[in-house]
Amino acid sequence: MADWQEITGGITAPRGYQAAGITAGLKPSGLPDLALIFSEVEAIAAGVFTTSQVKAACVDYCRQRLQAKQSARAILCNAGQANAATGNQGWFDALESAMAIAQALNISSESVLLASTGVIGQRIKMDALRSGIPKVVAALSETGSDAAAGAIITTDLVTKSIALETTIGDRPVRIGGIAKGSGMIHPNMATMLAFVTCDAVVSPHLWQQMLARAADRSFNSITVDGDTSTNDSLIALANGQSRTPAIIEWGAESEKLEAMLTAVCQHLAKAIARDGEGATCLIEVEVTGAHDELSARQIAKTIAGSSLVKSAIFGRDPNWGRIAAAAGRAGVPFEQENLQIKLGDFLMLENGQPLTFDRAAASAYLKKASVGAYLQQDTVLISVNVGNGYGVGKAWGCDLSYDYVKINAEYTT
């Protein structure tokens, strides 16, 4: 059993955090579009960002900030314009945004991190942002997580939020998170944003390492459409307000904290995959028997990202041959006579040999997932074994429906 429990509160569940989300007029829809996360004290900061060579100004800004100083107090996120591929003016807009929110909060601009999401090639609507900053600061609240989660989404159908609590040094420690993402989602910082808050005391070096590993086992293990965004950002703050003993080296307490951080990231990652544009179900692929965890994850990600596998799931077609083909092209060596494939409880291939199974029942299993409760009974499980190794890895994706094309064919028109 997990050594933590789920609690309410999202990113404001940990001590010492406030959040807000408002409508500043950045989105044409008139929906909330400006979010702020604020720590009452300076917090250790870590980040993982897109690997794309085309990066948004906010990504370059955050990387520079975190290289200079591994701490922050505020994260400002605008939705509506990605501020990516916007040249020098986009960079100046990012700097102005950081300065403006810093002045409104009466903190140093070096303690501000930024995120943007929206249409690539469009600058932030700075007039709207300038007028919105005093409003979002005034709206800061210890119960503002839901408002912030609602202000960062674009094509998402639902907000994504989670908070967990454990005990370290006989005191409660909490981690909360919110995320957005629905399309342009693929491993390599699977457009996606995630913000995590924590009230533990942890060294900057450990916190960055924990976050990088958690990202590999969560956001870097999801795929919706094979496209990596220009804006992908995962930012995590740890402000020490739990007053627990400082975690400065590897041990039982650091392992517990990292496990809970990974659980938060995996919940948010699965929520993003489930909310894939046009999706009707979540796909979870578990690969066992590989040489190591990295190899297992690579096979799992290839299967979860296969357009043929995703289309078959949408068509409720238990076509295990597509799963086998995807596993075989993952770039990980294994002997095909060791290959085993299961869809839910249906064993379809054993020791590389096809088996007779109830196709109608397997199809019904896929249909049931498409109408199941959100992140509970809406998951299609694909289990693949490739040998006798100790490597185990998971990846998450979603089915590929007609609506995905409809949504993205007219994205800017």
Q: What is the DSSP string of 325-368?
A: HHHHTSS----GGG-EEEETTEEEEETTEE----HHHHHHHHHH
CA–CA dist 178, 194 (Å, integer): 6
End-to-end CA distance of the chain: 49
DSSP-derived letter for residue 175 is E
Which 3 state secondary structure label does DSSP give 36? strand
DSSP lists the bridge partners of residue 5 as 165
- CB contact at 8 A, 248 and 201: no
Alpha helix (H) residue ranges in 71-174: 87-105, 126-138, 145-151
Dihedral sign computed on CA atoms, order 384, 386, 388, 392: negative
For residue 219 the two structure tokens come to 């956001």
Q: Which two tokens stand for residue 337?
A: 């006579």
Neighbouring residues of 88: CB distance < 8 A, sequence distance ≥ 6: none
**What is the number of residues in the chain?**
413
Cα 120 to the center of its chain, rounded Å: 19
User: Which regions of 126-245 does DSSP assign to beta strands (E)?
Assistant: 160-168, 171-180, 193-198, 233-238
Residue 350, phi then psi, degrees to nearest 5:
-140, 125
Q: Distance (Å, rounded) from C-alpha 318 to C-alpha 34?
A: 43
Catalytic residue (one of 50, 117, 155, 191): 191
Cβ contacts of 160 within 8 Å, gap of 6 or more: 149, 178, 179, 180, 181, 268, 271, 272, 275
Instruction: Indicate if 197 belongs to the active site.
Output: no
Strands 346-350 and 353-354 come out as antiparallel
**CB-based burial, 344-371: b 16+ in 10 Å, e otherwise:** bebebbeeeeeeebeeeebeebbeebbe
Residues marked as catalytic: 191
